[in-house]
Amino acid sequence: MEMEGNRFLTVFPIRPHLIRRIQEGLHQGAVWVAAPPGYGKSMLLRSLELHLPGSRYLPLSPSAIDPANLQEALASLQQSRFCLLDDVHLLADGPEALQDLREAIARAPDRWVIAGRWIPELLCEAPFPQTWLTEAELAFSIPEIARALGVDRETAAQIHARTRGWPIVIALLAQPDANRPLPERWPEAQNQLFEELARSLLRTLPEALRAFLFRTAVPLMFNLNLAAALLEDHPELQAQLPNLLAEAQRRRLFLEPATPPDRWRYHELFREFLLRHGPEPLPPLFARAMAWFEGQGDLEMAIEHALAGGLEAEAVRLLRTLPDAFIWDRGRRRTFQRWVMSLGEPARRDAPDLMLRLGKELHRAGHWEEGRAILREVLTWAEQQKDAALRDQAALMLASVLYIEGRFAESLAWSTHGLREVRSPALRMRLLKTAADACTGLGRLHEARRLYREAMALAEELGDPHYPVFLRHNRAVGVEIPAGRFGEARALLAANASSYEGRPAQRITHLIGWAMLAIEQGAWAELERILGEIEILTREVEEGQASNDFWFWWCRAMGAIGRGQWEEAASALTHAEILVRGHPEREGFLAQAQAWQARRQGRPEEAIRIAERALPRLDGAPLARALVALERDLAAQALGRAEAHPAVEALIAMRAGASFVRLRALRALQAHAVGDPRWRRHLQAALRWLGREDRLSARDPELGMAFWLLCLKEGIREDEAIRALGGLRALPALQGLLRDPRERVRRAAARALAATREEAAMPLLYEALNRERHPTVRQTLENALQFLESLPPPPLEIRLLGRFEVRRGGQLLPESIWPRPAVARLLQYFALHRRRWLPRERILEDLWPERDPEDAEEIFRRLFSWLHQVLEPAMRPKGPFRYFAIEGEALRFDPHDVVEVDVERMETEIRQALAARPMSREAWTRLAGRLEGWPLLLPGFPYEAWLIPHQERWRSLRTEAAQALAEDALVLQELDAAIRWAERAVEEAPWLEEGYHVLMRAWARQGQRARALRIYEQAVEALRRELQAAPSPLTRWLAERLRRGEPI
């Protein structure tokens, strides 16, 4: 029993689920329990002896390798119903004893439970049925750890991650010690574990295997090539490596697969044990591992082993070669910090470049205080050592981080001071960029553009392959987008696209730029696509940039506000607010979004309050301040107040064209409201900025609507105004203009209502047509009505499976809308004959076969009229019924292909899945989810002859799909699912032998052969009852294999 001896009996709890698993296995045949030391195998067998009547526990001793001794030991089990044999691995080198034991087991497999560190091959290759329990089943689960140690689930999960549920470790931690908390017991428990391993395991291993373990425990993971490098001074062992690895695996010495697939690693605690008990100094071995990983191009593992071996000079050398891509592309800043700070202080002082890099990267990730503290520490070293070059580098980085924190004026001061003294072209290039970045925050867009261009010229002169990417991005986002030069911004971002392939962290920054461009253009669908891609990339990054996190949530909020999704906007704004952290630019953009949301929701007073609370805190970020002030003035305009906050005028001085359009539109509305003739100049200026693309309506719908209504009423760019107002669906405002005293305005309003393409405009136009007397206006109204009536109707979604429902334009029609049940039945009839021409005579015969033709015609005419009213509520009397095409005496439902019938869609999906078998896991899951409710077609409705063929076709296809799901679940090793779907198939079609085949195979593969044989008996009875037939040869063959204990 070795490690599982009596000293731990009081700690290992009874584990009922394992006892039940063994009892179930004994119903089929022999049960093997194989696991490394310390997994409670012996204790499990002793517990089983108490819970399994007629059982006897027998631990083998090394002497049992002699067949005579084994026979003597086994003789004591002859009268036992169940034989619980322990430590069978001791027989591994005794083939005669193993053969004797195999024969004894084969005579009655369901008597035997055999445990050991491993099961010799001669035993487990036997033909009798077998059930296995390994360390995977014997390991303690998180709930078991929580109960055993009396800790919460989170603490138990941490212990499970460290121990992987190794029972002996849990037992050692559970030793009662009222005076010490659990964390303080860990070192002693670990020492006890290591003592046990040394006493009961290590000393029993062959010397060559011990040497293999000690050397291969040095690296975090190894393969045979690395093992050969570690054993280069033992050529006699190198030749044995495949055998030594196989022996370690056979003995279950805590060795498990690693990634990539050809590598292995030891259980963490077992590796610590081997490192502590190794017979030789470790640093030279770590140096070999480091050199091997470096030679393989695995820089990360090389650094890990250099630091683990205390090889600081080598670690510094490797860290200096670490590419930016490692930190940026995967967000591995904390890993980099751990590596650098693992160096002693003397080593860090000798490598200030690593400290500067660490400070910059931590700050970039939003850890401002940490990053700034490291940079100031390096600046102090530089001053102490009078190192001017190091001082300049540290100063440049401080300027950069001050910009990131929104302290733009301080950042610009550091940058301009550095530019006066710097002599290094590379350092000058970086200072120019930092100065340009600061200018963007201060709203000095023209100056920022000049500095970016100068830095770009210098980068190209130096041949720097990376810096132009940063310069183009920052110029696009910080200058060209706010300036409204969208074409230039798009070109700069597009030029960078290829630089971010395979670099998720950097691509997130790139996509944020595209997201901001989409916002200024009001391209909300494009923004959603971009944000979706960012969310996917975020899952690939260990830790992203804090600034990106803020801008992501700000963009998410702006998109939600633009689409009118208020709950999503509120959630995103909450996330963004947490990330502001006193940054003035972020605070300003957050206030801008919050005020815009309040204005869009019809709460302009709140929008003004939000803006006025934020404005005093935004002096350090003039552009953000001006944008918040603009939102304030727009909210005041919504209240009918013409106000102009002084900060708004800065947008003109900054040449911030993206917001300049909105400012000019606002000024035009304000001036027109008070009769100021300058309204026309403001309006024309806004139109010049817009060109031929209406970005105003998309970016700010309420402002756009007011602006284009003004254009419409004044007859300025009338066609553009009609298109814009149509796109804005401005029905209430346009309805009012249908009563305007000016004939030109009424005609324009009618055209704009037609441009909305909304059926809700039809009653407005019809009402206006009834009262209008001017012939030209009447003709325009009639044309508008006819245009809307010619458009396809709103989509219909008809549900016939299970409950009958109809959704029109996404809205559920209430049950009360149907004047008679027969009206709904008429729609159901047409839905099941969608897009087919039906002669009127056939319709009458199908629906009213017992009626006189004239009576049936009258009923149909009345029901069809009611159906018209239900499905076309906005249509004028005697208007067209757009859901039907009528030619002579034939009707066709859904000529515009806007109707979706659920049973039709489901049939298509099922047939596609059946045609693509075997299904992939994704396709299987999708089809199973669609069929989970197992619906019938129009259940519970009165008998109708025309409906029966449709119901039977659906029932047959549904059964075929269930059988396919069952069969493919077997292929996917989803046995429970296979049973569930096969049971549905045979319940629907009791004669379906293929369903019984799946059930027999699935139950057998779960180890329940008796139940599988009962399924066979059910199949025999069902076939006799339903078809008066015997089972097929295949069914009988499966049953025969089950009886012989053979797999199926």
The CATH number given to whatever domain includes residue 37 is 3.40.50.300
The pLDDT tens digits for 427-451 are 999 999 999 999 999 999 999 999 9
For the stretch 519-534, pLDDT in tens is 999 999 999 999 999 9
Number of domains composing the chain: 5
Region label for 640, one of left (φ > 0), alpha (ψ between -120 and 50) or beta (otherwise): left
**What pLDDT is stored for residue 544 in this prediction?**
66
Cα separation of 701 and 798, whole Å?
34
Same structural domain for residues 753 and 877? no
CA 227 to chain centre: 38
Domain boundary among 347, 375, 405: 347
pLDDT greater than 90 at residue 161? no
216 and 316 both lie in a single domain: yes
What tokens were used for 143?
């709930």
E-assigned strands of 45-86? 55-59, 82-86
| Cβ within 8 Å of residue 22, ≥6 positions away | 31, 33, 44, 48, 52, 113, 131, 133
Average confidence (pLDDT) over 466-492? 96
CA distances from 478 to 147, 473, 548, 884, 977 (A): 57, 8, 14, 55, 55
Q: Looking at the domain assignment, is residue 617 inside a domain?
A: no
Question: Cα separation of 992 and 982, whole Å?
Answer: 10
**Among 412-426, 720-734, 855-869, 1029-1043, whose mean pLDDT is lowest?**
412-426
Helix (H) or strand (E) holding 717: none
Verify that 215 and 322 share a domain, yes or no.
Answer: yes
Is 49 a domain residue? yes
Domain boundary among the residues 328, 347, 366 is at 347
Helix axes 701-714, 743-755, angle to 10 degrees: 140
User: Does residue 957 lie within any of the structural domains?
Assistant: no
| DSSP H or E stretch at residue 1046 | none
Structure tokens at 907: 């049939």
pTM of the model: 0.62
Q: What is the pLDDT of residues 866-884, one digit of tens each?
A: 999 999 999 998 899 999 9
Name which of 7-11, 282-286, 297-301, 758-762 the model is least confident about: 7-11
Report pLDDT digits (tens) over 599-658: 999 999 999 999 999 999 999 999 999 999 999 999 999 999 999 999 999 998 898 988
What is the number of alpha carbons within 13 Å of residue 354 lying toward its C-beta?
A: 25
Q: What distances in angstroms separate CA 122 from CA 33, 61, 90, 243, 880, one per listed residue? A: 16, 19, 13, 18, 84
Q: Is residue 784 domain-shared with residue 808, that is, in the same domain?
A: no
Is residue 761 located within the same domain as residue 719?
Answer: no
Same domain (yes/no): 330, 226:
yes
Task: For 833-855, write each residue's pLDDT tens digit.
Answer: 999 999 999 999 999 999 999 99
Alpha carbons 17 and 15: distance in angstroms, whole number: 6
pLDDT at 10 over 60: no
Bridge partners of residue 255, in order along the sequence = 266
Q: Report long-range pairs for 71-80 (Cβ below 8 Å, ≥24 apart).
A: 71/100, 74/100, 74/101, 74/104, 80/54, 80/55, 80/56, 80/111
Give 635-648 pLDDT, tens digit per residue.
Answer: 999 999 999 999 99
Q: Please check whether residue 587 lies inside any domain of the structure.
A: no
CB neighbour class for 93 (10 Å; exposed up to 12, middle 13-18, buried from 19): exposed
Which secondary structure element, helix H or strand E, spans residue 501, and what is its range? Answer: none
215 & 340 share domain: yes
Q: Is the dihedral of CA 803, 809, 815, 821 positive or negative?
A: negative
- Looking at residue 3, its pLDDT comes to 47
Tell which of 743, 761, 791 closes a domain: 791
Q: Which tokens go with 161?
A: 């991650």
Evaluate whether 665 touches 707 at the Cβ level (below 8 Å): yes
User: Residues, the chain, total?
Assistant: 1048
CA 597/CA 607 separation, integer angstroms: 8
918: preceding bond cis by omega (within 30 degrees): yes
835: CATH: 1.10.10.10
Domain presence at residue 369: no
Residues 842 and 754 in one domain: no
Q: Where are the beta strands (DSSP E) in 805-881?
A: 805-808, 811-812, 837-839
pLDDT at site 9: 37
Q: Is residue 45 part of a domain?
A: yes
209 and 337 in one domain? yes
- Looking at residue 781, its pLDDT comes to 98
Q: What is the pLDDT of residue 621?
A: 93
Share of the chain above pLDDT 70, in %: 98
Determine, yes or no, domain membership for 992. no
**β-bridge mates for residue 33, sequence order:** 115, 133
* Nearest C-alpha neighbor of 701 from the set 733, 728, 722, 683: 728
Q: In what order do the strands lie in the sheet with 30-34?
A: 55-59, 82-86, 112-116, 30-34, 130-133
**276, pLDDT greater than 80:** yes
Write the pLDDT tens digit of every residue in 708-732: 999 999 999 999 999 999 999 999 9
Are the C-beta atoms of 522 and 697 separated by less than 8 Å? yes
Q: Average per-residue pLDDT in the chain? A: 92
Say if 832 falls within a structural domain.
yes
Which structural domain, as residue segments, surrounds residue 257? Answer: 200-347
Asked whether residue 4 carries a pLDDT value surpassing 60, the answer given is no
Domain CATH code at residue 786: 1.25.10
Confidence of residue 168 (pLDDT cuts 50, 70, 90): confident
Same domain? For 241 and 270 the reply is: yes
Token code pair at residue 86: 């322990």
- Mean pLDDT to the nearest integer, 166-178: 78
The mean pLDDT of 121-127, rounded to a whole number, is: 83
Give pLDDT, residue 179: 60
Are residues 990 and 1022 in contact, defined by beta-carbon separation less than 8 angstroms?
A: yes
| Amino acid letter for position 65 | I
Which tokens hold the place of 430?
């970086």
Same domain, yes or no: 664 and 761: no
User: Residue 545 CB: number of other CB atoms within 10 A?
Assistant: 24
- 69 and 51 belong to one structural domain: yes
Q: What are the structure tokens assigned to 162, written together? A: 């460290």
DSSP state of 111: G
